[in-house]
Amino acid sequence: MRVYISVDAEGCTGIFKLSQVMPENPAYEFCRRMMEGDANAAIAGAFKGGATEVVVNDAHNNGDNIRIDRLDKRARLISGKDRHFSMMEGISGEFGAAMFVGYHSRKGERGVISHTYYYSEIQEARINGEPVGESEINGFLAGSFGVPLAFLSGDQHITESIKAKVPGIRTAATKRAIGHASAECVNPEISWKMIEEEACAAISGLIRHSAAPLAAPPVRPMNDAPYLLEIRFATPGHANRASLLPGSSRISATEVGFNAADYRDVFRAFLCLVTLASTFRENG
């Protein structure tokens, strides 16, 4: 079985505040080591569970956090910023399972450094009326290829949330979130052992029993476009920039929508909308 792993930073072992995941901060070196350690634990678990091949996508920021010489040599690594599928670059129907490592809660929810793709621009994202975060947005994309989400690690809020949405998923709570920038953490060796064990159980379980992929919530077709994406931005200025995308519609002063028949088009539109919005500056 080929296994795809998307690795973010905010939900990784030992991470509890935003400055740790920012490249310009001295604490960033620690973040890189934790991302690499969590990724290696997931890789080891996947192979132990029966994986024949593992591909890792460095999904945080510009995709230049994980160092290839620090990664389990059995895995391949996708790095870099200009990726059409961003946090999910490389996903395809050739994979038998997807695993999300170091993930976090969506903007507005409880959890360490909770946000949705961007820290300040996006206030809420909805698909077919349901609020979603990165685990759903990315998980639906995997599902569009028929790839089930088998494992997720992060704090207790995101792990409990995803278990309610994906029956049978295996999770590893790397820390107990106290606030947005505080957490009760465990030693990395303890966390990595847990990630490896749960990742192993996830893959071995999938090999024995197939699982259904994560699918976007159903909605009545509208103009033969059953997927409705809605994003509420921080300011009307962000929405102005986002609404430059052809096919988008202005819902309100701060909200922009997009309809599509194919979820992959919705995912691409999401990336375009938030990228356009990020170019807005209050001072012009």
pLDDT in tens, 83-113: 999 999 999 999 999 999 999 999 999 999 9
| CATH code, domain carrying 235 | 3.30.1360.130
Query: Same structural domain for residues 198 and 235?
Result: no
CA distance 190 to 131: 33
User: Residue 216 falls within a domain, yes or no?
Assistant: no
Question: CA-to-CA distance for 14 and 183, rounded, in angstroms?
Answer: 8
3-state helix, strand, coil in the chain (%, to 5): 35, 25, 40
Going by C-beta distance under 8 Å and a sequence separation of 6 or more, which residues neighbour residue 114? 104, 105, 106, 107, 108, 133, 157, 180
Tell which of 163, 181, 208 closes a domain.
208
Residue 150 lies in a domain: yes
Looking at the fold, whether 73 and 132 belong to one and the same domain comes out as: yes
- Whether the full predicted model's pTM is greater than 0.85, yes or no, is yes
Residues 119 and 192 in one domain: yes
pLDDT tens, residue by residue, 204-221: 999 888 787 887 776 655
CATH number (domain holding residue 188): 3.40.50.10780
Domains: count for the chain: 2
Q: Are residues 150 and 103 in the same domain?
A: yes
pLDDT of residue 219: 60
pLDDT tens readout for residues 124-163: 999 999 999 999 999 999 999 999 999 999 999 999 999 9
pLDDT per residue as tens digits for the range 259-271: 999 999 999 999 9
Average pLDDT over residues 59-63: 97
Return the DSSP state at 247: T
Same domain, 249 and 146: no
Q: What is the domain extent for residue 234?
A: 227-277
Q: Point out the catalytic residue in the list 115, 157, 180, 238.
A: 115
Q: Is 84 a catalytic residue?
A: no
Residues 59 and 88 in one domain: yes
Residues 116 and 231 grouped into a single domain: no
